[in-house]
């Protein structure tokens, strides 16, 4: 299927691993050029080099923290200087949390608000004008099933991802007149490095069977009884970036192996 993504320019946050890297690879395979953001410079450079070698597209790595105003400004400037703006923005940077509402300090709430919500707000403000000049664009937000079906141990993650989902819907109505489509994806269980790291920590004192732990999590939460690969989520997101999804506006899509318990 021709997706019409050749020579498009995509800005991807959290682009050095997990779903972000898989989206970057998927878009590059379709001929899109990339501006990749992540905090760890060495890992980002390695990811960019691998994509260039595999797909022959331009990849601009931008080490920055998009949870800060300075970080988003650096990323916006890099897209403008390298490509004159962007056609696609994938707001993917994020992290799980672990706390109780009664004990979590204000600073932790603020940090996750900045990472999951304000990064998307600032990048929209910075990149939408360029999308208008280029004739339109696509913005995707990677939220989470936890935005609507929360896990008890991460209330801050649940709340800020729910806010990101609402921001996505609200932004979609504001920019569609400029031919900019905005959508949100809510993944379920996805086998990212963060999940593996957490599983290894949780099983370190009980034999180290981290794979068994993840299998148990999947059996408990997902009717499909397994984690998704990052590529399975990325394939869907790449499709949403394409002209083949031209009538998809302001929606939230669940890629969750049946984990969502409501209709």
157 flagged as catalytic:
yes
Q: In degrees rounded to 5, what are phi and psi of residue 24?
A: -60, -45
CA distance 78 to 62: 7
In this structure, are residues 8 and 33 in contact, taking their beta carbons and an 8 Å threshold? yes
Annotated active-site residue in 112, 157, 247, 253: 157
Give the pair of three-digit tokens for residue 228: 């998704």
* Alpha helices by DSSP H, 3-113: 18-29, 41-55, 69-83, 106-113
**18-29 and 230-241 helices cross at what angle (nearest 10)?**
50
Question: In this structure, what token pair is assigned to residue 140?
Answer: 């995707």
* Cβ contact 119:91 at 8 Å: yes
Report in angstroms the alpha-carbon separations of 185 from 72, 87, 151, 204. Answer: 21, 18, 18, 33
* Secondary structure (3-state) at 71: helix
Q: Which helix (H) or strand (E) holds 183?
A: strand 180-187
The full DSSP string for 190-222 is B--HHHHHHHHHHHTTTT--HHHHHHHHHHHH-
Q: Would you name the residues annotated as active-site residues?
A: 157
């Amino acid at each position: 299927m021709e997706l019409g993504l050749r020579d498009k320019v995509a800005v991807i946050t959290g682009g050095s691993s997990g779903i972000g890297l898989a989206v970057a690879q998927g878009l590059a395979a379709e001929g899109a050029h990339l501006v990749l953001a992540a905090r760890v410079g060495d890992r980002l450079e390695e990811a960019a080099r691998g994509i260039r070698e595999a797909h022959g597209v331009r990849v601009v790595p931008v080490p920055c923290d998009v949870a800060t105003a300075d970080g988003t400004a650096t990323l916006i400037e890099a897209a403008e200087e390298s490509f004159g703006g962007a056609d696609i923005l994938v707001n993917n940077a994020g992290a799980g949390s672990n706390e109780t509402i009664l004990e979590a300090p204000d600073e932790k709430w603020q940090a996750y608000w900045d990472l999951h919500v304000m990064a998307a707000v600032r990048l929209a403000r910075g990149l939408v004008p360029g999308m208008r000049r280029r004739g339109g664009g696509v913005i995707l937000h990677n939220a989470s099933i936890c935005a609507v079906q929360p896990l008890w141990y991460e209330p801050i993650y649940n709340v800020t991802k729910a806010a990101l989902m609402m921001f996505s819907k609200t932004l979609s109505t504001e920019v569609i007149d400029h031919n900019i489509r905005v959508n949100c994806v809510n993944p379920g269980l996805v086998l990212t490095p963060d999940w593996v790291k957490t599983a290894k920590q949780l099983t370190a004192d009980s034999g180290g069977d981290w794979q068994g732990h993840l299998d148990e999590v999947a059996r408990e939460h997902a009717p499909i009884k397994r984690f998704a690969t990052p590529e399975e989520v990325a394939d869907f997101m790449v499709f949403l970036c394409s002209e083949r999804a031209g009538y998809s506006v302001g929606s939230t899509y669940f890629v969750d192996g049946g984990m969502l318990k409501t209709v």
